[in-house]
Amino acid sequence: MTGSGQVGSPEFKETVDATGLSCPLPILRAKKALATLSAGDVLRVITTDRGAVRDFQAFCKQTGNALLAQIDETDRVTHYLERRLK
């Protein structure tokens, strides 16, 4: 399912709703979802755990997936990750 979020957000292929979950669960769900995507596809992850901002930055640095954007809203943060090239 292709979607487009708010204005200025990247186009994405799939969404992981990790609202209400504490780390490391958002990272684990994102990792599982990324494994199903093709290289270059974008995954949107919605979190409410404020620690997820740093966690996703570190995750992308370690795995080679691109962190395209992190949009911080009042009650959630939306992360956009691009699946690395193989």
User: What is the pairing mode between strands 14-18 and 42-47?
Assistant: parallel
Residue type at position 24: P
Contact 56, 49 (CB under 8 A): no
Q: Which tokens is 3 given?
A: 């979607």
Catalytic residues: 23
